[in-house]
Amino acid sequence: MWYPSLKLFAFQSSILLLGLYSTHAAAAETADEGVNGWKIAMLLFAAGMVLSIFHSIKMLRGSSKPGPAYWAKRFEAACNKHDHGEAKQALLYWGKSMYGEKAPSTLEGLATHMESTAAREQIRLLQDVCHEEDLPAGDEAKHWNAFLCGQVVGNHLYALIKAPPKAE
């Protein structure tokens, strides 16, 4: 993330400019020329820096927790890469962001929340692949079709995001 470095740069530059202002203001007060212009410019700059720091903090707080749509995209991307571990993780995080405290901690539990039987079946196949650690490199394709899983389950995830099931 580049926000922390931006805040550090803003802080350092404001300190530097305030130091320059105090040096120039002390010299200008003795000569009694141009102090008012510098004061106005420095006040405007300081106000702008404070506002930009508050804005970046506000943006950071809002982006700290990705929503269900983010995890649905991550799930589809993992399926497109045929990465069953990442797909499992994205599905579980999708469940946490969708159901909160009541989210299931396993793929089997998440499958029970799916209304589509095809989506439930694909999630169970994904779970089987994740638990079979001794499969040779190409053998998992016999059990789990990553592209089909990404399409079926991904579409169902987006449908649940648009119209979440009613609380029990």
Q: Is 54 exposed, middle or buried (0-12, 13-18, 19+ CB in 10 A)?
A: exposed
- Tokens representing residue 51 in the block: 């506002």
Asked if residue 84 lies in contact with residue 144, where contact means CB atoms within 8 angstroms, the answer is yes
Question: What digits encode the pLDDT tens for the residues 30-83?
Answer: 555 556 777 888 888 888 888 888 887 777 666 567 788 888 899 889 888 888
Question: What digits encode the pLDDT tens for the residues 26-37?
Answer: 555 555 555 677
Question: What digits encode the pLDDT tens for the residues 94-140?
Answer: 888 888 888 888 888 888 888 888 888 888 888 888 877 655 555 54
What pLDDT sits at residue 134?
53
pLDDT class for 168, splitting at 50, 70, 90?
Answer: very low
Asked if residue 114 lies in contact with residue 123, where contact means CB atoms within 8 angstroms, the answer is yes
φ/ψ of 128, rounded to 5, equals: -60, -40
How many other C-beta atoms lie within 10 A of the C-beta of residue 138?
Answer: 7
Q: What is the DSSP letter of 164?
A: P
Per-domain boundaries in the chain: 3-62, 68-162
Question: Distance between CA 110 and CA 39 in Å, rounded?
Answer: 61
Q: Does the predicted model carry a pTM greater than 0.75?
A: no
